[in-house]
Structure 1
């Protein structure tokens, strides 16, 4: 059972902003950690920037999530990551790299981070290249939820779809909720699904 949350904010946001999700998620009484990005941004570029450009900021973000999860003082299977936008991308990347044993990851408007050094830019990835999703974490037991609008201005739906498939391949029980039309914000059906995950026995 989930007993603690790491709430990961998006670009320009803060841990205080993310605490606004505690009520909608039914997380009152849970242990909460809210890591803060320097300058309120985990990285200065698109989350689909080349790996070399993302390496430093991403490593720092992953370390911040590690520290936040440890600070809860709970077994890893009692901890869930909940991120929005940049924070959702960071949560998913953490899960794919270091998520073994975690209870859940919930990515509200997010996808796995980065692009490869080869290949051609595609319209489906907003002019970015794809990458090799060569993760080797064992995510057996992890429950994962990804949400994305069909026309999200920041998160290509194609990357959200691929992210669901990658987590599933790694052993997670993954689900993608696609919201119709344009948008970039948590939606009620995503919040309901997240709440169900957090309160599952």
Structure 2
């Protein structure tokens, strides 16, 4: 189970008008992932990065049956739910709250925002898709109200099949998100400079 451990950078939450939540990948650390914000147009943002206990949000592949990733998976979603509530309690509205995640963190990001669809500032999923051995549409509700959502991935990628990226994008569009997908041929499992540029133009402009 995950403890609520949040690393911060940028503006103080109570002084900021916008917030970026950064969700690290498997084996990654929130502290190190804060550095991603330096490459994004977020100099006026409060940056919050939750840390997964034991550096992993859930134990198995995001394509495994849900039960095989419990109880860590539900616990990870709860951490994000609490964090979103904490941010809103400071008076910051959802359209000024942004999310970005990489790999396992990108999957968790997409799953969380789709379960809680509303007008967010924007979402960047660097190599990710909705979680499960299949897509459980009954878990998703709300209206993104034109939230810009970017998903980038490699083809092939060692962890995330292109089909799951495309199927996830379709669900997001059905829920009224403004989705941009970029698939890179033979790109390593990483965040590319091109993705940073696209995200800055599309979401953090």
Same fold (TM over 0.5): yes
1:90 matched to 2:94 = no
Matches within 5 A, 1:52-201: 52-72=67-87, 73=90, 74-115=92-133, 130-134=134-138, 135-200=140-205
Cα deviation code 1:176-198 (max 9, x no counterpart): 11111142111112111211233
Contact 1:54 1:114 in 2 (8 A): no
* TM-score with structure 1 setting the length: 0.86
* TM-score with structure 2 setting the length: 0.84
User: Which stretch shifts more, 139-148 or 38-47?
Assistant: 139-148
Structure 1: which 5+ residue stretches go unaligned? 116-129
**How many angstroms does 1:54 deviate by?**
2.8
Matched residue SS, 1:113: coil
Cα deviation code 1:72-129 (max 9, x no counterpart): 33211100110001110000001110132322111001111011xxxxxxxxxxxxxx
Contact 2:99 2:123 in 1 (8 A): yes
C-alpha separation in 1, matches of 2:187 and 2:44: 34
Matched residue count = 185
Corresponding residue of 2:25: 10
Query: What is the RMSD of the two structures over their aligned residues, measured on CA atoms?
Result: 1.6
